Structure 1
Amino acid sequence: MQFKQTLVRLAFILLPSFGYAQTTYLPQGDKQNILLERLEIKAGRDSVLNFSKTRPYSRNKYVINGVNNFLKHDSAGLSRVDQYNVQGIYRNNLEWLTPEQREQYKSRKPILKNFYTTPANLYEVHVKDFDFVINPVFQYTVSKEKDNDQHLFLNTRGVSMRGKIADKIGFAAYVTDNQERDPLYVQQFITDRTAVPGAGFYKDFKATGGVDYFDARGYITFNVTKYIDVAFGYDKNFIGSGQRSLFLSDFSNNALFLKLNTRIWKFNYQNLFMELSNADSRLTDRLVGKKYAAMHHLDINLTKWLNVGLFEGIVFGRQNKFEFGYLNPVIFYRSIEQQNGSEDNGLAGLDFKANVARKFQFYGQLMLDEFKLSELRAGNGWWANKWGIQVGAKYIDAFGIKNLDLQVEHNRVRPFTYSHRDSVANYTHYNQPLAHPLMANFSETMGILRYQPAPRWMVLGKLIYYTQGRDSSALSYGSNIFLPNEPPYRGSDYGYSIGSGWKTNTLYGSLLLSYELRENLFVEGNMVVRRLQTKTAPIIEQNTAIFSFGVRWNMHRRDFEF
């Protein structure tokens, strides 16, 4: 409660000083992200689009400004599909266009004169000092899994809205009611973690394996100066250029946050403060324990095509107390942690992204949790050498085929990374990891193929293979970051490497065919195959195939890629 009061007070202290055009953000999994990624690589040296590591993206400062800047200098390289997608960005961000520009996106046949006056939005208002957009949210998917007689489904209904007041305050909300029964391996995750991937509190729904949960998100935004944006709300954030992130991903539940983003010259600096939830068994009705996180990420354009970033984050728990030293937006967290007695879980990292030849993007992350150089050189598998690394590459218009995009990515994380000596300060939120869904003690390689042969069609294929050393029933080998990394959970001090423990190999493949019936309304068919084999006793082999068909409207896909 004290943390919430602190954030609210800070927000209202800053509020009177705003005075610049305000923004809202693209929602999770929005289709516009695909084009923005392509435009950044095609431009190679875009002063707006090159700052793409922190998501979600600002609709005006990043999306509209970035697209406009690209079209001003590089529009000759756009394919027919890209041009269609550019128009889609304008259709979905009309509040940032002039009244004259909005006229060309009017619907020929609106419904009852006031609904769907433009193709993208159910109802919208654009008048002096006020913009408002509201849309339905719907998804229904049915699935059939091999050797599983259960009825698998996803049923989501809800609403999303956004707007701005006098170009000074932005606001957005997303509310859905969800029932779903997922494939068996996801049901096992829910049982093991007492958590639904990406969601918070849930209830069992009807027969075995079903869950029922409410997803409510929202935030307000304003500007302190022309260069500093402030957002306060309850939603997800992501830091990185890859499919996964070793710093902060959107895999876990929404979180209360205060975000300050400073964009000036060759720098983009984000401060993120969050209230998180401890691990909880949900056995009784009670207040879930709270913990907190503070993160900094600094992007620097070293050259027009090379961007390097610095990251630091800390997760900590206090009894009815927030550590106010961590509100300092500049100082290194490690120094504050040491002054406090080194009880908190601090991480630091480096990342990079390079756009090359208007075709390629190379990216990576190095995350350091804890290590000792002498132990690292000794190579004896000291348990506290905790780090993770990511390297990846994207190749657009591959082999001269327009809108065929390829991506390859490798992630590996040492045992016990993200864990802590207690069960509170681990790098988790609401029974789920804050970063990679596999947590720790794994090596993962993935390949992604995305092809848009025509404006409304998309084919998306993914292949993921990973090796993980899982924990036994008696000892932790560092994969389950919810367990304290101290004895008796951990055994010896030495002999740990990636794969130590109950060695498990998993192959995951998916193929999606999607067609956009009308703006943001998709009909989709999807196939997933998953094969899990353990290489050390007890030997287990699990093979499954899942076929799905569904309709999705103004909502992200629910994928379980682990």
Structure 2
Amino acid sequence: MQIIKSIFKLAVFICPFAATAQSTYLPQGDKGYHFVDRLEIKQQTNTDLNFSTLKPYNRKYLVQQAEYIDSLRKQFASSLVTEEADHVKFTKLDDYNMNSLLMNNSEWVTGSKESFLSKKPFWGAFYKTKPNLLEVNVKDFFLVVNPVLQFNLSKESGNSETIFLNTRGITARGMIAKKLGFVTTITDNQERSPQFFQQYIGSARAVPGAGFYKAFKSTGVDYFDARGYITFNAAKYIDVQFGYDKNFIGNGYRSLFLSDWGNSNLFLKLNTRIWKLNYQNLFMELMPQFVKHGDVLLDRKYAAMHHLSMNVTKWLNVGVFESIIFGRRNHFDFEYLNPIIFLRHIEGTVGSPDNALLGGDFKANIAHKVQVYGQLLLDEFVLSRIKANRGWWANKYGTQLGIKYIDAFGIPNLDLQAETNRVRPYTYSHNDSVSNYSHYNQPLAHPLGANFNEFVGIARYQPLAKVFIMAKLIYYKKGLDSLGYNAGGNIFRLDTDRYGIDEGYTVGGGKKATCINALMQVSYELRENLYIDLSYQHRSFKVVNTPAQDNSMSLITAGVRLNIAKRQYDF
């Protein structure tokens, strides 16, 4: 942690606070993310939305773009219809969602805010605006404070114990003189998850999405989740964010580059937006694989990641990605601080065997209805070995291809998404236990690790302003290890642990496991950001010729939540 703090102090010294306004970011799982997808696809051009591959979203840029699209929508509704406005056709519910988006990011709204005000504030002091318990907006100071609540009760088939989640907390965000932004979120959680999730927690020694935990009522877990960061402008086009939270790189439901599925981490992020380019530098302090015994200080490892995207045309955005995970025990290698150099070159220069990955991604908005996106991740490969087609172990790569279709089949606010992910054996693993692509005993990218084929299908429908329906289907085939055979799916195992077998590795090879995970969820927004949820989930996991590892469950859940995304059990 001290190393990352030193880097942050250096960034502040080199790039002092500028006079431009600085924004905070949308929280993980915010309902605004899906609406932004709709806006981008409807508009089709990427000019001001080329940041959407990188999450979380900057509130300032988001509002700027939303207000611009809203102005086009108003042109369409009037007699002043331009060619560009003719394509931005809103449904009635888009108007409702646009107002909700602006209301939840009101510090950057330039138009009227009258519709944001509550008719009857509590005791004249609280909920003066519809989304926020406490909102202060005076000269040189903006502050929003909100409670965070989630309470779910579930019944799992074949399990006599009640499945539950009890989350209480608080979140606050603000700005000082429009130069310094800050966010903090703290929650206390008690959870008894479905049995397959409990098994994962036990094997990983970590709660997915949270990390450290203590036992609660024998089969439950008790964990504290605290996140926070500060933001400022280093220059007119350069934003700096420093804190402890999560990041995501990609346009899909999953990411092969960097996911927010696992635990938060300490990071320093520099993001540069200029012309048609968006360039992000991300420096992270991570924790290598461990077994915790009492109060013992855990070791550290580090990562540096670069992502550069460009709007090649008005409808096509392409990006390149590189990352390096390095295992100097509790020591950051300052060679990797150069924000514009090729990381693989540094790795070779310093003579280290660090874990370097490269990648490319794209998204294309088509006909104001469809977005096609994808990722290609390269860990290691030799072209001649790929041509030989013998399943050489070190041909380590992954692919993603997906499509989003909004207002599907002419039905307003019915949005469909289909995605496939394929990752070869041994991808993300390394020849030492420190440099694998993980943090706090959880994958940094896809939760399944490696050696799998996956299909994800999602249908979202909003029939009424306050009613949200989602159906999700996840199906995958994954190869598991067996006695004397490392199938390459466990990224925590050394890639040298192959028992002398160098060829014959295929995706899904090893003990073949298949899984179907289906979810139907209905949510009603009782008031802004307060939801009542009902859901039914069915998961069936089978291993060929190994009935002892088969399991199937159904889960019926009812719950209420405020200012937080619904807990997902999605693998």
What band does the TM-score fall into relative to the shorter chain?
A: over 0.9
**Contact 2:145 / 2:171 at 8 angstroms: preserved in 1?**
yes
CA offsets 1:519-554 (integer angstroms, 9 cap, x no match): 000000011101111124466421110010000100
One of 183, 187, 191 as aligned partner of 2:194: 183
Is 2:20 the partner of 1:20? yes
One of 104, 107, 117 as aligned partner of 1:95: 107
The one-letter amino acid of 1:561's match is D
Q: Distance in 2 between matches of 1:336 and 1:382?
A: 27
- TM-aligned CA deviation for residue 16 of structure 1: 2.3
The one-letter amino acid of 1:454's match is L
Alignment correspondent of 1:230: 240
Alignment correspondent of 1:554: 563
Alignment of 1:176-325 (within 5 A): 176-207=187-218, 209-325=219-335
Q: Distance in 2 between matches of 1:181 and 1:473?
A: 32
Q: TM-score, normalised by structure 1?
A: 0.97
Is 2:408 the partner of 1:398? yes
- Identity, % of aligned pairs? 54
Q: Mark the runs of 5 or more structure 1 residues left unpaired by the alignment.
A: none
Alignment correspondent of 1:32: 32
SS at match of 2:112: helix
Q: Distance in 2 between matches of 1:340 and 1:251?
A: 32
Q: Distance in 1 between matches of 2:345 and 2:338?
A: 12
Q: TM-score, normalised by structure 2?
A: 0.96
SS at match of 1:262: strand
Q: 1:134 to 1:484 in 2, by over 3 A?
A: same
SS at match of 2:463: coil
Alignment correspondent of 1:82: 94
- TM-aligned CA deviation for residue 302 of structure 1: 0.4
Which one is further off, 73-82 or 378-387? 73-82
Q: Distance in 2 between matches of 1:279 and 1:320?
A: 14
Q: 1:515 to 1:103 in 2, by over 3 A?
A: same
Alignment correspondent of 1:53: 53
SS at match of 1:338: helix
- TM-aligned CA deviation for residue 128 of structure 1: 0.4
The one-letter amino acid of 2:95's match is Q
Q: Mark the runs of 5 or more structure 2 residues left unpaired by the alignment.
A: 77-88
The one-letter amino acid of 1:106's match is L
Alignment correspondent of 1:520: 529
**Contact 2:46 / 2:316 at 8 angstroms: preserved in 1?**
no
Alignment correspondent of 1:152: 163
SS at match of 1:377: helix
Q: Distance in 1 between matches of 2:341 and 2:73?
A: 40
Alignment of 1:349-428 (within 5 A): 349-428=359-438
Alignment of 1:493-532 (within 5 A): 493-532=502-541
The one-letter amino acid of 2:127's match is Y
- TM-aligned CA deviation for residue 196 of structure 1: 0.7
The one-letter amino acid of 1:5's match is K
Alignment correspondent of 2:86: none
Q: Distance in 2 between matches of 1:251 and 1:555?
A: 15
Q: Distance in 1 between matches of 2:307 and 2:562?
A: 33
Alignment of 1:80-159 (within 5 A): 80-98=92-110, 101-159=112-170
The one-letter amino acid of 1:67's match is A
Which one is further off, 312-321 or 179-188? 312-321
Q: Distance in 1 between matches of 2:546 and 2:153?
A: 36
Q: Distance in 2 between matches of 1:486 and 1:134?
A: 51
- TM-aligned CA deviation for residue 74 of structure 1: 4.0
- How many residue pairs match? The answer is 558
SS at match of 1:476: coil
- TM-aligned CA deviation for residue 200 of structure 1: 1.7
Which one is further off, 249-258 or 69-78? 69-78
SS at match of 2:13: helix
Which one is further off, 474-483 or 351-360? 474-483
Q: CA RMSD in A?
A: 1.3
The one-letter amino acid of 2:454's match is E
The one-letter amino acid of 2:25's match is Y
Q: Distance in 2 between matches of 1:18 and 1:533?
A: 57
Which one is further off, 23-32 or 470-479? 470-479
The one-letter amino acid of 1:16's match is P
SS at match of 1:110: coil
CA offsets 1:73-124 (integer angstroms, 9 cap, x no match): 24541111110011101211121135x7233421111011110001100001
- TM-aligned CA deviation for residue 490 of structure 1: 4.6
**Contact 2:301 / 2:330 at 8 angstroms: preserved in 1?**
no
Q: Distance in 1 between matches of 2:359 and 2:459?
A: 28
One of 453, 459, 472 as aligned partner of 1:449: 459
- TM-aligned CA deviation for residue 2 of structure 1: 4.0
The one-letter amino acid of 1:259's match is K
SS at match of 2:541: strand
SS at match of 1:309: strand
Q: Distance in 2 between matches of 1:454 and 1:179?
A: 33
Is 2:76 the partner of 1:69? no
SS at match of 1:101: coil
Q: 1:254 to 1:490 in 2, by over 3 A?
A: farther
- TM-aligned CA deviation for residue 143 of structure 1: 0.5
**Contact 2:4 / 2:268 at 8 angstroms: preserved in 1?**
no
Q: 1:490 to 1:115 in 2, by over 3 A?
A: farther
Q: Distance in 1 between matches of 2:483 and 2:408?
A: 47
The one-letter amino acid of 2:209's match is G
SS at match of 1:224: strand
The one-letter amino acid of 1:231's match is Q
**Contact 1:475 / 1:491 at 8 angstroms: preserved in 2?**
no
Alignment correspondent of 1:326: 336
Q: Distance in 2 between matches of 1:396 and 1:14?
A: 45
Q: Distance in 2 between matches of 1:90 and 1:452?
A: 19
- TM-aligned CA deviation for residue 284 of structure 1: 2.4
| Structure 1 runs of 4+ with >3 Å offset | 536-540
SS at match of 1:16: coil
- TM-aligned CA deviation for residue 410 of structure 1: 0.3
SS at match of 2:47: coil
Q: 1:430 to 1:541 in 2, by over 3 A?
A: same
**Contact 2:17 / 2:232 at 8 angstroms: preserved in 1?**
no
Q: 1:486 to 1:4 in 2, by over 3 A?
A: same
Which one is further off, 1-10 or 215-224? 1-10
The one-letter amino acid of 1:237's match is N
Q: 1:142 to 1:539 in 2, by over 3 A?
A: closer
Q: Distance in 1 between matches of 2:2 and 2:348?
A: 23
- TM-aligned CA deviation for residue 268 of structure 1: 0.3
SS at match of 2:377: strand
